[in-house]
Amino acid sequence: MPILVMKFGGTSVADLDRIANAAEKVKREVERGYDVIVIVSAMAGRTNELVNWVEKTSPFYDAREYDAVVSSGENVTAGLMSLRLQEMGISARSWQGWQVPINTTSAHGAARFMSIPRENLDAKFAEGFKVAVIAGFQGLSHEGRITTLGRGGSDTTAVAFAAAFKAERCDIYTDVDGIYTTDPRISSKARKLDRIAFEEMLELASLGAKVLQTRSVELAMRYKVPLRVLSSFEETNENSGTLVCDEDQIMESKVVSGVAYSRDEAKMTLVTVEDRPGIASAIFGPLADAGVNVDMIVQNISERQAEHSVKVTDMTFSCPINQVARARKAMEDARDAGLIQFDELVADEDVAKISVVGIGMRSHAGVAAQMFKALAAENINIKVIATSEIKISVLIDRKYLELAVQALHDAFELDKA
């Protein structure tokens, strides 16, 4: 029998009625002739509740016990889903991560997949079981301890199973009906895409689009797993949702496929750093060691050059706003250790990142000019620019975020098919 993987997020299994609704969708796929692997998240809000309990019990908690507690939400959902399917006459069995087993690294709270042996599930399918309900977000370390994969890990679990079992497709059921050209809450002209390339989806996910977890898209791209994003709350058919697939499965792409944004950005500038070989390593090495997620980087000639006897530069980078204190400490520690010298560290925590993404940029010139012209027409100043083969990102004042998204969506005519 062909295998289909279906993943249901927290809002899709938030209560017993929604679990019943999800089970009906699973039943339909069984009736179409599939053996189905269902990946479930914890009920909406449950993981936050469990995390809160851990933090109140032990502020400096043991990560192994943290994983033991927070993984329990998915176990409950898996059992309830399996029971519901059985009540509907579908032969189903629930599986926790250690029962499969889902083998992972030992990085508690941020584990990565090592392997998913097929033998146990294949044996159950051979016995006549039609559905295996798997608790997402969790696995088993080589020490025999439960691990978790980090927030959004159930998406990654679903893709990993689709790859391991060579599934026909991996359907991600969520509270939206597909991938949009931008956030519909900001632009009423946002349009649902029928298809989007893996690379575009990976960029959009990493730049702030929250429909799919970044690691799940990376895994799908690596193993060529077709992903379909669709709504749990609407009637669906083979044409529903958005298919995330290889570029060659898309007849013709627009130059720009979407506009992404991130509100929670900060711009940090090291003023008058000595301009010498190795200075970038001396700055970004300590930042990496401190776990600061640096994104955009710009180096400029310092305005204070005349005050210094050696050649100096200003180094600007962006990072998540919740990592500003960590970045500041890393730079001050590096200065105290004699690795770098700088006059001051200026942090601007009132910025946002806006990005346009599209595989069509590879073969079309003028995208940057069009983007900058659209922002200039709205009198929006650009603070930092970063580019890749299929994206252009800028930092702007946060107060202009929604205006910028709407202006770029209009400029690239993303409301038109």
166 is annotated as contributing to ligand binding: no
Q: Which two tokens stand for residue 263?
A: 């509100």
pLDDT band at 303 (very low <50, low <70, confident <90, very high): low
Determine how many CB atoms are found less than 10 A away from the CB of residue 381: 11
Which domains, from first to last, does the chain contain?
3-175 (3.40.1160.10)
180 is annotated as contributing to ligand binding: yes
User: What angle is formed at CA 362 by the lines to CA 356 and CA 367, rounded to 5 degrees?
Assistant: 45
- Which residues, listed in sequence order, are joined to residue 134 by a DSSP beta bridge? 39, 95
pTM of the model: 0.84
128 is annotated as contributing to ligand binding: no
Lowest mean pLDDT among 68-77, 126-135, 228-237: 228-237
pLDDT of res. 376: 97
The residues, any chain, with a CB within 8 Å of residue 235's CB and separated by 6 or more, are none
SS3 300: strand
Which backbone phi and psi does 223 adopt, to 5 degrees? -105, 10
SS3 50: helix
Q: What is the tens place of the pLDDT at every residue in 370-412? A: 999 999 999 999 999 998 889 999 999 999 999 999 999 999 9
- Which residues, listed in sequence order, are joined to residue 231 by a DSSP beta bridge? 174
Does 307 have pLDDT greater than 80? no
Q: Which two tokens stand for residue 130?
A: 């039609």
Q: What is the tens place of the pLDDT at every residue in 148-162? A: 998 888 999 999 999
Q: What is the mean pLDDT of the chain?
A: 92
pLDDT of res. 213: 83
pLDDT of res. 209: 67
What is the side-by-side strand order in the sheet with 92-95? 92-95, 131-135, 35-40, 3-8, 169-174, 227-231, 242-245, 195-197
Fill in the amino acid letter for 252.
Answer: E
pLDDT band at 352 (very low <50, low <70, confident <90, very high): very high
The residues, any chain, with a CB within 8 Å of residue 281's CB and separated by 6 or more, are none
pLDDT band at 88 (very low <50, low <70, confident <90, very high): very high
211 is annotated as contributing to ligand binding: yes
77 is annotated as contributing to ligand binding: no
- Which residues, listed in sequence order, are joined to residue 391 by a DSSP beta bridge? 357, 388
Q: Are 197 and 255 spatial neighbours (Cβ–Cβ below 8 Å)?
A: no
Q: Which two tokens stand for residue 177?
A: 């009906």
Q: Which residue has the tokens 């029962």?
A: 99
Q: Which long-range contacts (CB under 8 A, 24 or more apart) does 63-70 make?
A: 63/108, 63/109, 64/108, 64/145, 64/146, 66/108, 66/109, 66/148, 67/108, 67/109, 67/138, 67/145, 67/146, 67/147, 67/148, 68/145, 68/146, 70/148
pLDDT of res. 84: 98
Lowest mean pLDDT among 65-69, 97-101, 157-161, 194-198: 194-198
265 is annotated as contributing to ligand binding: no
Rounded Cα gap, residues 388 and 295, in angstroms: 12
pLDDT of res. 208: 63
Fill in the amino acid letter for 117.
Answer: P
Q: What is the tens place of the pLDDT at every residue in 254-271? A: 789 999 999 989 999 999
Cis peptide before 101 (omega within 30 of 0): yes
174 is annotated as contributing to ligand binding: yes
- To 10 degrees, what angle do helices 214-223 and 198-206 make? 160
pLDDT of res. 308: 67
The percent of residues above 90 in pLDDT, for the chain, comes to 77
Q: Are 87 and 27 spatial neighbours (Cβ–Cβ below 8 Å)?
A: no
pLDDT band at 417 (very low <50, low <70, confident <90, very high): confident
pLDDT of res. 136: 95
Rg (the chain; Cα; Å): 24
8 is annotated as contributing to ligand binding: yes
User: What angle is formed at CA 76 by the lines to CA 70 and CA 80, rounded to 5 degrees?
Assistant: 160
pLDDT band at 351 (very low <50, low <70, confident <90, very high): very high
pLDDT of res. 67: 95
Chain length of the chain: 417
Mean pLDDT of the 197-226 span: 86
